[in-house]
Structure 1
Amino acid sequence: MTVKGTLIPIGGNEDKGKNESEKHILEFIDEGILYHVKQQAGGKDANIVVIPTASSIPEEVGENYLSAFTDLGCENVTVLDIRSKKDSESQRAIDLVKAANCIMFSGGNQSKITNKIGGTTIHKIMMERFQNEVGFVIAGTSAGAMAMGREMIAGGRATEAFVKGAVTMYKGLGFVPELLIDTHFIQRGRFGRITGAIAKFPNLLGIGLAEDTGLIIKNGKCLVIGSGMVIVFDGHHITHNKEKILDDGTPMTIANLTVHVLSNGDRYYIDERMVNVLPIEADFI
């Protein structure tokens, strides 16, 4: 199935333009991740709806995104504060999601997103629009990125993550069922956590996003944006994986797990499981 919309998962802690130096401000306006979100959604006139459901401080987070997108020249930014499934079924929520060019999910606890939005009317509208509308963008940072897959990491401490049972999985929103996404990847040492998740689901691709780093995904074609790295874990050719037969608490072994390290401007093609490294200034899609 050809998907017409655009997905932008972000590794968390993306630049919001708060550094006051002139050079930094210019980089934020012309090169930052939120700039890419704005451009993919249609530019400064895009209708952007920020959903801070994952956050424990949704009002503050919503205001931060209002400020950041305003600094980028955006004129139509709305915060949709959803705190229950009932909120997801409200007419205001339905109307905003139907009219949006871009949905932006904040960070926090990814399980809040799936528990309060998953399976609701606005989730179904997002999915239908994402699959069928060119130019419709779903972006998400940290928890908002992790909730994008069908299988979602819900928990697992980095120091214990590569023993059987240490990684907790949950169902995500399913926008990109081929991927299993983890965030704050380099900064929080989550190599073992995503490897444990891939041991459970070796048919999926694991995506580890560093902070201030993301992907622009269009119909299976991915472009790396931001200042850090994207680590791709491909378990398609694993030759040794006993995750299913081990007891909980047992250290695991994986052989022939393929790992790619990508940076700004690099491409990855999901269906072909292929890396394509091109100059940053080359055209994308």
Structure 2
Amino acid sequence: PGPDGSTDLAVEPVFSVDLEWMGGVVRPFIHSRNGVRLQSAADLFGFGGTYQPLGGDRLEGRQAVDELGVSFRPGWLHVLGSVAASRTTDGAERVFNATNDTLSVAPYTGLRTRTSATGRLGLREFSRRGIYFWAEATTSLYAGDKDAVGETAELDGRLEEAVPELFGKAALGIRGILFQGDLDADLSIRARAWTEHLGLRFHPQTGLLGLPDPASRPIEQSMVLDLVAVAHIRTATLTVSLENFMSGTTLTPGNQLIPDYPYPERRLRFSVFWPILD
């Protein structure tokens, strides 16, 4: 419902295509999604005094996300390469004020694009027994409206700094099959690392994420190391992980991906997934 009590109902199609060749040594893939990027109710009407709404008609932008890549799997080797592009036209973005305590909606007119390239190397990555390793790195580049001035140019700066230029993850582990195939075990060390960036700030009153003020303290370059044990017992999956076990040491004094919300140090997590009716 609108501010005057009227109801506006609209149906917007979203087109999605996923194509992937699942067999053989060479396995190309394409993922594509194209549709309308709508605003939420909080974007239109605000939330208390900590979220300032659009204050007018909703701004519907369009977004297209495409990825094209190929995977090579000759024997125990796995090599993957892909390129992706996210193109958003018009619409709006959520931004914080200078003190990062109030969220508002900033309109954007024009095209903004984020392109990325990903490379992955795996050694015995899909084997069920023995040691395995894989590493993946992604680099991204943002391009906004080159002729933009004022608030739009500032918004371009926030969007450019929101994502690290380089993000990587890797795993080194060992797998085994025990008790005549009833237990599949996987023990690994997993890592995530990123370069310096501003990130997205959390708005606790609504649970939404927004672009922080450009003068905010950036998220420093860092990494997270997890020790993970996974056991597949017939249809059940048990996972025990010691997350961020290097935090608080000389190597990694502390780390965070959301400003003001550091990763907990050496957190033990346990989970069970067991489909009763499948």
- In the superposition, the TM-score normalised over structure 2's length comes to 0.24
- In the superposition, the TM-score normalised over structure 1's length comes to 0.24
Higher share of residues assigned strand: 2
